[in-house]
Amino acid sequence: MLEYLIKVTLNTFHSAIPMALLAALALRCDWQSSRKHLKRGFLTGAAAALVYAVLKRNTGFAVREYYDLGVLIPSVSVCLLLLAAGVCVFKSPGQKCIARLRVLAFCAVACWTAYAAPNLMLYPFDFAVGMDNIFNTEFAFKAAGYASGVILILVTGLALFKTASSLGEGALFASSGLSVAVFFLKGVLSIAQILLGRNLIPRYKWLTRIVMWFLMHENIFVYAMMAACVIPALLLLASVRRAKPPVGNPAQVRRAKFMTRKNIRLCMYVGAGVLMSLLTVTVGVAYSNRRVGLSPPVEHPADGDRIIIPIEMVNDGELHRFVHKVTSGGSSIDVRYIVIKKNDTAWGVGLDACDVCGPTGYYQRKGQVVCILCDVVMNISTIGLPGGCNPVPLKFEIASGNIVIKTSDLAAEARRF
């Protein structure tokens, strides 16, 4: 769940925030015409993203880096023109400048949508990778994380749009310009990264150092975009606080109080959205990337060609990790396997590895068996069965109160480790 919440947030935040602010600015200048341009820009970008997603999914023709270049180069160009047009409209809001702003808004929304949308379209196809069917908790958690990320971005963007629409012209221009400038800088560095990675430009040391530094601190753009998101809310709160309540007409007093409450709620929604996004890209990423120390596996001695584990040794409902050393090509390989009691008459036996995440291993957390790499919780009753992130099944038999495993079956799986 957390994996796709993080992916959707990081993938979409940089485009959603400037899009919301630019929409508020364009609609302030000319509601009817700008609305049509923004809608057409979004549909154009979505169509381009859909074409790429279909090609990427069904052919080997589409290369994401070249697609990104084709989208980012016009994006950064439009960002520069937007900043210039914004200054023009702010200083002399004539029809000619406003018309240029509408066209640039169309181009910007199309580029930003085309940049962010492909991953949103492709992520759902990854949900069921390695699964026999979609009717399981792992698929549900991934879908829930994806949906949560989309809802978070939509609610934050909508609240920001309405908040920015209530600002004065100067504050609205400044906030929109900041978000566009942040996207411009991120786009320029992304272009440089792709060109350097593909050896399309010389590897100047100074350029490589700059790109590498920003790659090591890539969240700086997320924080800058969050600032561009919070500033309009703070400015609106300040204007609400400075506003003098009307006197006299009761209807005007009621309306003023209603607008005050509405603006405060909008600012709270923006703040909550930014806070949730901040927690996702900081605490969420740290939690997702955490490293859990696995308990050392026990080497149970083999009796000839069999390993005999007394049932009373693994009868406590805890996860037990074992290791068997296999000699292959003159080297020794530690083949790990796990045993856990599923119920009064059944035990789950499998390798400490799966087909999806490899030999990363499993650990027990609050009575649940969890994959250390993807944090997927196993259904204990399915351990010993193939599919998904379940441990690779290992053949065994119950004989005379013992779990018996053939060493040849463990040696056959040494390649996984």
- Average pLDDT on 336-340 reads 87
Which span out of 58-62, 232-236, 315-319 was modeled with the highest average pLDDT?
232-236
According to DSSP, the residues that pair with 363 across neighbouring strands are 370
Going by C-alpha positions, the residue among 15, 67, 69 that lies closest to residue 196 is 69
Number of folded domains in the chain?
Answer: 2
Q: What is the pLDDT of residue 302?
A: 80
Q: Are strands 320-328 and 298-299 parallel, antiparallel or unpaired?
A: parallel
If asked whether residues 265 and 351 sit together in one domain, one would say no
In the chain, what percentage of residues exceed pLDDT 70?
A: 88
According to DSSP, the residues that pair with 403 across neighbouring strands are 309, 398
If asked whether residues 107 and 199 sit together in one domain, one would say yes
User: pTM of the predicted model, to two decimals?
Assistant: 0.66
If asked whether residues 265 and 341 sit together in one domain, one would say no
If asked whether residues 346 and 201 sit together in one domain, one would say no
If asked whether residues 346 and 273 sit together in one domain, one would say no
If asked whether residues 109 and 10 sit together in one domain, one would say yes
**DSSP H or E stretch at residue 331:** strand 331-341
How many other CB atoms sit within 10 Å of the CB of residue 250?
8
Does residue 293 belong to any structural domain of this protein? no
- Average pLDDT on 371-390 reads 74
If asked whether residues 124 and 238 sit together in one domain, one would say yes
Q: Tell me the backbone φ, ψ of residue 323, rounded to 5 degrees.
A: -140, 145
| Largest pairwise CA distance in the chain | 98
Does residue 103 belong to any structural domain of this protein? yes
Residue 192 near residue 51 (C-beta atoms within 8 A): no
- Alpha-carbon distance of 270 to 156, in angstroms, equals 6
If asked whether residues 72 and 208 sit together in one domain, one would say yes
- Alpha-carbon distance of 23 to 212, in angstroms, equals 33
- Alpha-carbon distance of 380 to 37, in angstroms, equals 54
CA angle, residues 378, 379, 381, in degrees to nearest 5: 135
**Burial track 362-391 (b if 16+ CB lie within 10 A, e otherwise):** bbbeeeebbbbbbbbebbbeebbeebbbbb
How many other CB atoms sit within 10 Å of the CB of residue 326?
19
Going by C-alpha positions, the residue among 47, 41, 3 that lies closest to residue 22 is 41
- Alpha-carbon distance of 91 to 109, in angstroms, equals 24
Which residue has better confidence, 384 or 235?
Answer: 235
Q: Which of these three, 258, 288, 318, is where a domain ends?
A: 288
CATH number of the domain at 372, please.
2.102.10
If asked whether residues 85 and 197 sit together in one domain, one would say yes
Mean per-residue pLDDT over the chain, rounded: 81
According to DSSP, the residues that pair with 48 across neighbouring strands are none
Residue 389 pLDDT class (50, 70, 90 cuts)? confident
Q: What is the pLDDT of residue 129?
A: 57
- Alpha-carbon distance of 341 to 317, in angstroms, equals 5
- Average pLDDT on 99-113 reads 84
Residue 47 pLDDT class (50, 70, 90 cuts)? very high
- Average pLDDT on 91-116 reads 78
Q: Which of these three, 288, 322, 344, is where a domain ends?
A: 288
- Alpha-carbon distance of 143 to 27, in angstroms, equals 34
Q: Is the pLDDT of residue 247 over 90?
A: no
DSSP label at 243? P
If asked whether residues 279 and 402 sit together in one domain, one would say no
Going by C-alpha positions, the residue among 100, 48, 38 that lies closest to residue 71 is 48
Does residue 283 belong to any structural domain of this protein? yes
The domain of 20 spans 2-288
If asked whether residues 254 and 341 sit together in one domain, one would say no
Does residue 50 belong to any structural domain of this protein? yes
Q: Is the pLDDT of residue 265 over 60?
A: yes
Does residue 78 belong to any structural domain of this protein? yes
Residues 200-231: tens digit of each pLDDT: 888 778 888 887 788 777 788 888 899 888 88
Q: Which of these three, 253, 288, 323, is where a domain ends?
A: 288
Q: What is the pLDDT of residue 31?
A: 66
Least confident of 155-164, 265-274, 384-393: 384-393
Q: What is the pLDDT of residue 130?
A: 53
Q: What is the CA radius of gyration of the chain?
A: 28
If asked whether residues 250 and 326 sit together in one domain, one would say no
Residue 50 pLDDT class (50, 70, 90 cuts)? very high
